């Protein structure tokens, strides 16, 4: 029995001693395709690219909203690159996880309907429901309540 315990303890220590550590990836080593030509650019270069350069690489003129979205994404990318050039993968995973979910931003019909039809009671119900969409639902419940109050004021004053 002592030999089994000693063997298990030795195996456990050996396992801990040889645990693999995932190396941090450098932003200059990760390439992504850009445009339809198949050109690739490193994340480090992408984080410091000007909008005119992106337009040249992609061959398309960017609208104002596209330029704004690009600058915001570029800022997030710069924030995730450490001073030594390595990527903070935890921040990246968190950012991608946040972006991949749907319904957390944009119009939320359920929240709007709660606020529009039930007023402040609907806002209270929106606060009580706990899920990933709570913040967006509460926002749209308040907007729905504000719209119905504005409509009532218009009819009242007319």
User: Is the model's pLDDT at 73 over the cut of 90?
Assistant: no
User: Is the model's pLDDT at 114 over the cut of 50?
Assistant: yes
Q: Is 148 helix (H, G, I), strand (E, B) or coil?
A: helix
Q: What integer pLDDT is reported at residue 33 of this predicted model?
A: 82
Q: What integer pLDDT is reported at residue 29 of this predicted model?
A: 83
Q: What integer pLDDT is reported at residue 101 of this predicted model?
A: 54
Domain ranges of the chain: 27-100, 109-157
| Residues 147/107/138/70 CA torsion (nearest 10 deg) | -120
Residue, of 49 and 27, whose pLDDT is higher: 49
- Burial (CB < 10 A; 0-12, 13-18, 19+), residue 104, is middle
- Alpha-carbon distance 138 to 140, whole Å? 5
Token pair listed for 127 = 């606060």
Token pair listed for 142 = 């308040």
- Write the pLDDT tens digit of every residue in 80-101: 888 888 877 676 666 656 555 5
Express as a percent the part of the chain with pLDDT over 70: 75
Q: Of the candidates 42, 23, 22, which has an alpha carbon nearest to the alpha carbon of residue 32?
A: 42
Mean pLDDT of all residues in 26-34: 81
Q: What integer pLDDT is reported at residue 42 of this predicted model?
A: 83
- Alpha-carbon distance 122 to 128, whole Å? 10
Token pair listed for 5 = 């315990």
Q: What integer pLDDT is reported at residue 112 of this predicted model?
A: 95
Where does the pLDDT of residue 35 fall: very low under 50, low under 70, confident under 90, or very high at 90 and above?
confident
* Bridge partners for 57 per DSSP: none
* Residue 51 neighbours by CB under 8 Å, 6+ apart: 62, 67, 70, 71
Mean pLDDT of all residues in 6-29: 55
């Amino acid at each position: 029995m002592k030999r089994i315990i000693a063997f298990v303890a030795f195996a456990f220590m050996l396992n801990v001693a040889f645990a693999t550590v995932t190396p941090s990836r450098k932003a200059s080593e990760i390439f992504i395709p850009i445009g339809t030509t198949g050109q690739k650019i490193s994340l480090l270069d992408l984080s410091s690219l000007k909008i005119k350069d992106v337009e040249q690489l992609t061959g398309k003129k960017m609208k104002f909203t596209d330029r704004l979205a690009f600058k915001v994404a570029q800022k997030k990318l710069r924030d995730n690159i450490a001073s030594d050039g390595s990527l903070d993968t935890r921040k990246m995973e968190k950012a991608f996880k946040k972006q991949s979910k749907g319904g957390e931003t944009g119009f939320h019909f359920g929240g709007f309907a709660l606020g529009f039809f039930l007023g402040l009671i609907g806002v209270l119900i929106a606060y009580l429901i706990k899920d990933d969409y709570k913040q967006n639902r509460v926002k749209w419940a308040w907007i729905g309540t504000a719209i119905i109050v504005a409509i009532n004021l218009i009819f009242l004053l007319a």
